[in-house]
Copies of this chain bind each other. A is one copy, B any other.
Amino acid sequence: MINDLEMAVGDSHDESKLELRLWLRLLSTTKLISQELRRRLRTDFNATLPQFDVLSQLYRENDGLRLGELSQRTMVTNGNVTGLVERLEGDGLLVRERLGQDKRVTVAKLTEHGRREFEKMAAAHESWLKELMTGLDPIVLSGLFSHIGHIKRTAIEHLARAGELETLPD
């Protein structure tokens, strides 16, 4: 069950492939944890990770979000956001509304049921992570948080330069 891709580049400890080795370790780690979180989300809440992502975006926006904005924030294409939102609407967790002057714009907003349901999911989600990371030094976690942020910003910068991103995030 354990990903070993990172070993496939060899055990050499030189710095020549540092980026690659770090990436493979990042990938296998997030895959390991993601699979467990997905399993629990499905078992306990019949939800997926992308769905959880959508709900969490809407939870903090009392006025809801335009689907295009939702698409950007979740890194899911417009077309696929439609399907994602449709499933959640089918479950009664959110509604779509066309209220503004611009008749093209659709806003997705959590229902009351959606808010309550997401609160349960978020609480469970948080406790799962605490469980899986029990025993880790807060100083280390805090340092990681900062450094991973740096990695992310660096990647975004290079992607923007290569024209892969329309919008630069904050």
Contact = CB atoms under 8 A, between A and B. Distances in A.
Interface string A127-170: 00111111110101111110111111011101100001111110
Interface stretch (A30-38, A82-90, A92-100, A104-112): A30-38
- What's the number of copies of this chain in the assembled complex? 2
A56 to B, nearest CB: 4
A132 to B, nearest CB: 5
A116 interface: no
Contacts of A23: 33, 129, 133
Interface in A43-70: 53, 56-57, 59-60
A144 B141 contact: no
Contacts of A57: 4-5, 8
Nearest to A22: B145
Contacts of A113: none
Given A26-B148, A35-B75, A59-B8, A155 B133 contact: yes
Contacts of A169: 2, 4
Interface residues of A, number: 73
Given A8-B56, A56-B8, A143-B147, A74 B20 contact: no
A18 to B, nearest CB: 5
Given A5-B73, A28-B75, 20 more contacts: A2-B156, A2-B165, A3-B75, A5-B74, A15-B138, A18-B145, A19-B126, A19-B133, A22-B133, A22-B145, A23-B33, A23-B129, A25-B152, A29-B152, A29-B155, A32-B155, A36-B164, A132-B155, A133-B155, A144-B151
Instruction: Give 4 closest A-B pairs by Cβ, nearest first.
Output: A2-B169, A8-B56, A29-B152, A4-B73
